[in-house]
């Protein structure tokens, strides 16, 4: 029997020192119960906890680690960059190189600004949208997560959703009142809302593949329809590609679906596991940011050389022939085999997937919106999670999150995962 004594002791100590014992809410495992594992190290597709237990990891640091843990090239790049100095508060060539790669890869990016997190990217893009349009309101979608800036904590996904709270105390109603949250994949709802608030909406923020209520793909025509409505109404279309950027395709979801936003938010993968984000888009809009223009945004550690080195190395490793074909193959194999196992065991699930991101919803589905995602049986999900953990498979500790497959997951890892899932399902009485 594996033991978790060290994890338990660390987590107890943490509880006295940090709210909930964690530095980000979902890490506390509130939705699935049990004592979170503290992680000692990772290598390839695996992580190892402080008691020495190994897990096949499908969290991948919540998305960034598309090359797996401690990728040798990324580690070397970080070491070399750190040895040259960790921060200068002045520009470095690496920032220019990273900006160049981003602008070449992502269709809607003509200019870009590096920041230190996805939250910062979305918060800054919203300020730019408001500054450029002179309008105050913003539309987002139920279950969409755009970081924790005040304006986005309305019917938000990810940890907010997992905790079962609709918003957050501390966000004044005057601010929250400017945010309109609508059902995902419902174009008519967007059209109605734009009509009602005509001339007042600065931007529509959307995850072009939703990843923070579990994976929910855009239905045919949804993203195209948003583009059309934004053009009609003179508001900006902002794709939050913090998860999907460099995940679902080299150029992100906008390349995959062929819809060009006015602004794009990036994070996660582009930082290679270090704290980085970026926002960018049309040149005429980006030119309004300080110091080129009047809209202010800044950061002491923005474009940090160590983080940029990790990002550059990660993106260069991804930009090889066959990378995304191989990720697509792994993702589709896994989803297909999981569906097969569910069928054999008579377990009702809906599996949503785009490329190497997927969610197994404990419901018969379909799942095209937050409303439908919430139909999932959360008790059944926690038993599934705990069962897999005991099998040495580490899933996101919430139903409303994406599993991520990395380039480091080998076919035999995927096979052992499916075998473990089938054993867990076989043992779940009444599922
Ligand atoms: C993770 C995430 C963010 C926030 O990024 P942080 O780096 O955690 O601040 C924003 N948008 C989406 C879609 C995300 O998944």
According to the model, what pLDDT value does residue 163 have? Answer: 65
Residue from 64, 125, 145 to probe ligand 1 pocket by mutation (most atoms less than 8 Å from CB): 145
Q: What is the tally of structural domains in the chain?
A: 2
Give the mean pLDDT per block of 10 residues along the chain (431 residues).
92 97 96 96 98 98 98 98 98 98 98 98 98 98 96 82 72 92 97 97 98 98 98 98 98 98 99 98 98 98 98 98 98 98 96 98 96 97 97 98 98 98 89 57
Q: What CATH code is carried by the domain that includes residue 405?
A: 3.90.1150.10
pLDDT score recorded for residue 165: 58
Q: Report whether residue 264 contacts ligand 1, using a CB cutoff of 6 Å.
A: no
pLDDT at site 428: 87
Looking at the structure, tell me whether residues 265 and 302 fall in a common domain: yes
The residue contributing the CA closest to ligand 1 atom 13 is 242
Residue with CA nearest ligand 1 atom 5: 118
Kindly state whether residues 390 and 308 are assigned to the same domain. no
Q: Which residues contact 232 (CB under 8 A, 6 or more apart)?
A: 194
Provide the pairing of β-strand 357-361 with 403-404: antiparallel
Only one residue has tokens 């990217």, namely: 121
pLDDT of residue 158: 73
Instruction: For ligand 1, say whether the CB of 180 is within 6 Å of any of its atoms.
Output: no
Domain shared by 282 and 355, yes or no? no
Residues 219 and 255 in one domain: yes
241 Cβ below 6 A of ligand 1: no
Q: Which residue, of 318, 334, 356, is where some domain finishes?
A: 318
Pair (95, 189) in one structural domain: yes
Atom of ligand 1 nearest to the CA of 117: 7
The closest-lying atom of ligand 1 relative to the alpha carbon of residue 267 is 7
End-of-domain residue from the set 251, 285, 318: 318
Which of 318, 353, 373 is at the close of a domain? Answer: 318
Shared domain for 393 and 407, answered yes or no, is yes
Quick check: 180 and 193 in contact, CB under 8 A? yes
What is the atom index within ligand 1 of the atom nearest the CA of 144? 13
54 conformational bin, left if phi > 0, alpha if psi -120 to 50, beta if neither: beta
**pTM of this structure:** 0.97
> Is the alpha carbon torsion for 423, 333, 212, 389 positive or negative?
positive
Q: Count Cβ atoms below 10 Å from residue 103 Cβ, excluding itself.
A: 15
Same domain, 89 and 201: yes
Q: How distant is the alpha carbon of residue 186 from its chain centre?
A: 21
Are residues 194 and 86 both part of a single domain? yes
pLDDT at 161: 73
Say which residue the tokens 């931007």 belong to.
Answer: 203
Sequence-distant (6+) residues with CB within 8 A of 193 are 139, 180, 182, 201
Q: Which two tokens stand for residue 340?
A: 């097969």
Q: How far is the CA of 148 from the centre of ligand 1 (A)?
A: 8
Q: Answer yes or no: do 242 and 278 share one domain.
A: yes
Q: Identify whether the C-beta of residue 279 lies closer than 8 Å to the C-beta of residue 125.
A: yes
Q: Does the beta carbon of 245 sit less than 6 angstroms from any atom of ligand 1?
A: no
Ligand 1 centre from 118 Cα, in Å? 4
* Ligand 1 proximity of 266 Cβ (cutoff 6 Å): no
Per-residue pLDDT at 357: 98
Give the CA-trace dihedral at 231, 232, 234, 240, to 10 degrees: -40
Atom of ligand 1 nearest to the CA of 158: 15
Q: pLDDT value at position 282?
A: 98
Written as six digits, the tokens of 189 are: 């709802």
Are 64 and 95 members of one domain?
no
Q: Are 222 and 210 in contact (CB under 8 A)?
A: no
Among 160, 212, 275, residue to substitute to test ligand 1 (most atoms within 8 Å of Cβ) = 212
State if residue 205 touches ligand 1 by the CB under 6 angstroms criterion: no
244: Cβ below 6 Å to ligand 1? no
Q: 210 CB less than 6 Å from ligand 1?
A: no
374 lies in the same domain as 411: yes
Indicate which residues carry an active-site annotation: 145, 240, 268
Q: How far is residue 23's CA from residue 8's CA, in Å, rounded to a whole number?
A: 17
| Count of residues in the chain | 431
The per-residue b/e assignment along 403-429, b for 16 or more CB within 10 angstroms, e otherwise, is: bbbbbbbeeebbeebbebbbbbbeeee
CATH number at residue 288: 3.40.640.10
Residues 249 and 360 in one domain: no
* Host domain of residue 248: 72-318
> CA 378 from chain center: how many Å?
21
What separation in Å is there between the alpha carbon of 412 and the centre of ligand 1? 31
| Share of the chain residues as helix, strand and coil, in percent rounded to the nearest 5 | 40, 15, 40
The three-class DSSP label of residue 9 is: helix
Alpha-carbon distance of 133 to 38, in angstroms, equals 46
Q: How far apart are CA 121 and CA 150, in angstroms?
A: 13
């Amino acid at each position: 029997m594996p033991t978790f004594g060290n994890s338990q002791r660390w987590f107890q100590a943490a509880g006295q020192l940090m709210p909930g014992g964690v530095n980000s809410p979902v890490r506390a495992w509130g939705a699935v119960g049990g004592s979170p594992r503290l992680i000692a190290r990772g290598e390839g597709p695996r992580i190892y906890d402080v008691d020495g237990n190994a897990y096949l990891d499908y969290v991948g640091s919540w998305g960034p680690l598309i090359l797996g843990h401690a990728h040798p090239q990324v580690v070397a790049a970080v070491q070399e960059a750190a040895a040259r100095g960790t921060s200068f508060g002045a520009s470095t060539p690496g920032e220019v190189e990273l900006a160049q790669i981003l602008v070449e890869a992502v269709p809607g990016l003509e200019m870009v600004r590096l920041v230190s997190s996805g939250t910062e990217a979305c918060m800054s893009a919203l300020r730019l949208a408001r500054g450029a349009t002179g309008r105050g309101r913003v539309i987002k979608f139920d279950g969409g997560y755009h970081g924790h800036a005040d304006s986005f904590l309305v019917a938000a996904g990810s940890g907010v959703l997992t905790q079962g709270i609709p918003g957050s105390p501390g966000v004044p109603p005057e601010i929250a009142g400017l945010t309109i949250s609508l059902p995902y994949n419902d174009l008519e709802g967007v059209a109605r809302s734009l009509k009602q608030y005509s001339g007042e909406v600065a931007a529509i923020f959307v995850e072009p593949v939703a990843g923070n209520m579990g994976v929910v793909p855009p239905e045919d025509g949804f993203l195209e329809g948003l583009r059309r409505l934004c053009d009609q109404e003179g508001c900006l279309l902002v794709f939050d590609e913090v998860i999907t950027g460099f995940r679902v395709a080299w150029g992100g979801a906008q390349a995959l679906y062929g819809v060009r936003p006015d602004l794009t938010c990036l994070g996660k993968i582009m930082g290679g596991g270090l704290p980085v984000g970026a926002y960018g888009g049309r040149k005429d809009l980006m030119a309004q940011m300080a110091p080129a223009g009047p809209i202010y945004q800044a950061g002491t550690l923005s474009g940090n050389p160590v983080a940029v080195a990790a990002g550059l190395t990660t993106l260069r490793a991804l930009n090889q022939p066959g990378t995304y074909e191989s990720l697509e193959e792994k993702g589709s194999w896994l989803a297909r085999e999981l569906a097969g196992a569910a069928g054999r065991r008579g377990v009702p699930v809906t599996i949503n997937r785009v490329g190497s991101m997927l969610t197994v919803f404990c419901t018969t589905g379909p799942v095209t919106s937050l409303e439908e995602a919430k139909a999932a049986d959360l008790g059944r999900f926690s038993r599934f999670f705990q069962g897999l953990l005991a099998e040495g498979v580490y899933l996101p500790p919430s139903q409303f999150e994406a599993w991520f497959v990395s380039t480091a997951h080998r076919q035999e890892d995927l096979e052992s995962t499916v075998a473990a899932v089938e054993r867990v399902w076989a043992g779940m009485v009444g599922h």
